[in-house]
Amino acid sequence: MSDRRRSDNKEDFPWWLIAVGLTALYLGIEVARSEIYAQIMTTLWRGAGVTVFVTLVSFFAASALGLLLALGAGSKWLVLRQTCRFYVEVVRGVPIIVLLLYVAFVLAPALVDLRNWLGGALGLEDIRTRQFPLLWRAILALMIAYSAFLAEVFRAGLQAVPEGQVEAAKALGLSGWQRFRLVVFPQAIRTVLPPLGNDFVSLVKDSSLVSVLGVLDITQLGKVTAASNFRYFETYNMVALIYLGMTISLSLALRGLERHLRRKQEHR
């Protein structure tokens, strides 16, 4: 049995991570040695903050909305259930880049018109559509897109909580909010953590789509840099390296968190 375990451990050794690390080391040396690579990396690094900001704000907003949609889909009220299902199915059926363009050039102007209409009743000064920053239009689009996917993740986690535990909480006299906060949600979040992590990593990559709106993230700066210096090979090597470093670091951190929570659960 121990031999078999050792064999499995050898098979599970992350050789892929060593390969990625060596590739990153080689490119890091090239960046240090090459003036061209160093200039490109300096330019692209300015977009890393925008990428991180878009990803974090979009993900946490989408998570909050997705959780509300999941709760609504399990509601006892038919209209609320059907409304949440309608939202999830429609949004999941639209490609993210189409949704991004729709939100940026259709929904955003509509929201500005609505704000001006309400503002007129309140005596507020009108604003123009161009005053709605493209960065926030992109964040709104990503939030809408990912909230539908995260709603299904949360719904699966909530349904995985044994009904007996909910009934026991009711028997103890806990209110609906207390049952959710103390019994249902802590168990559901442990169940959905791996798929939540996967969606977070996916959002890091999908945040590159905001470049179609001209938002100066890593991808957009890469396009601008390559168009000006004609060093497409070097530029897109750096773009890929930055995204790869971000996604692999996140994946490893999430795996470590999963192992920590698993060990913590086993010791209870």
Residue partners of 267: CB distance under 8 A and separation at least 6: none
Residue 234 falls inside a structural domain? yes
Residue 207 falls inside a structural domain? yes
Range of the domain at 166: 53-266
Residue 227 falls inside a structural domain? yes
| 48 closest CA partner among 242, 186, 236 | 242
Q: Which pTM was predicted?
A: 0.86
Residue 258 falls inside a structural domain? yes
Residue 121 falls inside a structural domain? yes
Residue partners of 85: CB distance under 8 A and separation at least 6: 73
Residue 19 falls inside a structural domain? no
CATH of the domain at 166: 1.10.3720.10
Q: Tens-digit pLDDT profile for the chain (268 aa)? A: 445 555 455 556 778 778 877 887 887 787 778 888 888 888 898 899 999 999 999 999 999 999 999 999 988 899 999 999 999 999 999 999 999 999 999 999 999 988 888 887 777 788 888 889 999 999 999 999 999 999 999 999 988 888 888 888 888 888 878 888 888 888 888 888 888 989 999 999 999 999 999 999 999 999 999 999 888 988 998 898 889 889 988 888 888 887 777 777 666 6
- How many structural domains does the chain have? 1
Residue 165 falls inside a structural domain? yes
